[in-house]
Structure formats: structure tokens, C-alpha cells
Amino acid sequence: MLYRGSCHCGNVKFEVEGEIKGGVSCNCSICRRKGTALAFFPRTSMKLLTPDDALATYTFNKHVIKHRFCKTCGMHPFGEGVDPKGNEMVAVSLNCLDDFDVSAVPLQHYDGRSL
């Protein structure tokens, strides 16, 4: 299925292709504050529909995840990283998808705070 999403102001828009059967809720220092529910996809499944320069990047701790956010409204629609097998991945905020009901999918809680 093709999903479309954006930041709050619409300056960052994207599409992601795949099936969402559930999401992840993480309690690390940044995810807890953002309150995001994430779904993971291969990076090749996501297409940025707006110029990359509309986004800024934040990294912390081990600097392996690129937390991408809109330069205008500050919304974090997705993050980029690499899975344990070395595949480029994207973690999409389910709350930033158009017409998607986050409460309709189960969320797995991930203890990122203890890592």
C-alpha cells in the first residue's frame, strides 16, 4: 500500500510503500519526548516529494540514527538509519501519515532508554 505523509506545515512531504501491521513505541530520551509511534521500511520504499533542504538532521548518542525534521515547523516525520544487517532503513512517524489511524495497529514497546 502507498502511504503519503508530511510534517505539520506541509513543507516536508513524502510517500512510503509497504504494509503497516504494527508500530514501535520507544522510551529513549528523544522518542519519549516526541511521543512518536514508528513503522520501519527499507529506505528505498520511501520517496521524498519535497527538496531535501527543507529538512534538518539531528543526531545524538552514537550518531547512528539521523532524526530528520522540518526546518519550518520542527515536526519529525521520519528518521534514517541502518538495520543490524546493514540495510538502509527509514522509521516513519505513523502520526505524520495522512488518513492513518494509529490506534488501529498494535504498538510494540521498545526499551531504548536502557541501551
- Break the chain into its structural domains and give their ranges: 2-110
- Quick one: fold of 2-110? 2.170.150
- Closest residue by Cα to residue 94 from 73, 114, 78: 78
Q: Cα separation of 48 and 5, whole Å? A: 10
Helix (H) or strand (E) holding 32: helix 29-34
pLDDT of residue 73: 97
> Is the Cβ–Cβ distance between 95 and 105 less than 8 Å?
no
DSSP letter at 64? -
40 with 25: CB under 8 angstroms?
no
pLDDT of residue 50: 96
pLDDT tens digit sequence for 51-90: 999 999 999 888 889 999 999 999 999 999 999 999 999 9
What's the CA gap between 60 and 115, in Å, rounded? Answer: 13
